[in-house]
Amino acid sequence: MSGDPIVVAARRTPIATRGRGLAEVTVDRLAAPVLRAVLEDWAAASTPPHPTPTVAVADVVLGNCMGPGGNPARVAALLAGLGVEVPGMTVDRQCGSGLAAVIEAANAIRGGDERPRIAGGVESASTAPVRSVDGVPYDRAPFAPTGFPDPGMTEAAERLAAEDRIPRSRQDAYAARSRRRSLAAVADGRYAGELVPVEGVSGDELGASGADERVLARFAPLFEGGSVTGGNSCRVSDGAAAVLLVPGALRGVGVPGLALRADAVVGCDPALPGVGAAAAILEALGRVGGTGRTVADVAAFEIVEAFASQTIAVLDRIGVADGDVRVCTDGGALALGHPWGASGAVAVVRLFSRLVRGGAPAGTLGVAAASVGGGMGVAAVFEVVR
């Protein structure tokens, strides 16, 4: 396992609701500051410290779902000043894009390329172009072909709540808990080490994050007779996140990090895409070290909280309680927001803060995961190295 790629730096931008704090910032301008920041962090931590320009980055891989096209990863790399010789690749696995990008970069290192890579994700829902077919605008491309179920994510969350009999009260309680945890993290400064200011915005736009169950109960259901509401769903958001991965030989003595021990991407029923993360988590854990690990071995989970019903359904399937302190300990997307292509990378940044910046001992395991539109799940298992 000495050859496993290691995350040695992890940063993100503030996350803001679409049309608000980051509304005028395009994807390249969102991503560029975090690309620079992870290089600067690693340069400062290396022994001996080295000037950032000497770091030879092999590639920049970023997830993005609804951006302008034109390979935002390459555009952001140029804007960040990484040099014209540094290429870029943009990947789209919808809500799992940011984590898929990290896995893609890690696989290149596993394949024998001994150079560092930057990976993550970026989304500007505020500046995303309007797409159309024959002049008719549409909200999203199909997640599945004709003949397969193809629900929108909100519809799928409602269907999952009904299928799993997850009551409104349980969803609201989960969402309120996520918001309380996020406010506590802000008060304790637990986000500070990971945030990179962007064009005057320096902190997450938490909005009504203090809403408790009594406030959430006032939200009207999004579907008649349903249980999914604007209060127990995430906000569509803008933001970016990135990590720097290096092979073990380049990590440097005394530089802590997260070694990527195993990962998995799975498919599931397109009618219930919200459960994809569950199978991915269990499969990834089963691949750790050849003999596998279990949910009980994991100290920290970061699961993209697109909807309370969806997150609860995943936790039920892996045998973890709603309020388990290991899950999104500092709040998740229900509090911070969900910048689609970036959220999987935000999950890795959060693990880095919780485990590496938080001083967890070597050997501690963390899991990042996301369910994906169209019926997929992606997960990665990380281990603290010191």
Q: What positions carry a catalytic annotation? A: 95, 338
Structure tokens at 10: 């992890």
Coil vs helix vs strand at 310: helix
Q: What are phi and psi of 117, to 5 degrees?
A: -135, 145
Q: Are strands 59-63 and 88-91 parallel, antiparallel or unpaired?
A: parallel
Amino acid residing at 8: V
Please provide the distance, in angstroms rounded to a whole number, between the alpha carbons at the two ends of the chain: 14
Estimate to the nearest angstrom the gap between the alpha carbon of 183 and the chain centroid.
Answer: 19
Distances in Å between the alpha carbon of 6 and those of 1, 92, 96, 119, 244? 11, 23, 20, 12, 8
Coil vs helix vs strand at 341: helix
Structure tokens at 256: 């802590």
Side-chain-side CA neighbours of 138 within 13 Å: the count stands at 9
Q: Provide the H-helix boundaries in the chain.
A: 27-45, 72-79, 97-110, 153-164, 168-188, 213-216, 276-286, 308-318, 333-336, 340-351
Cross-strand pairs, 90: 62
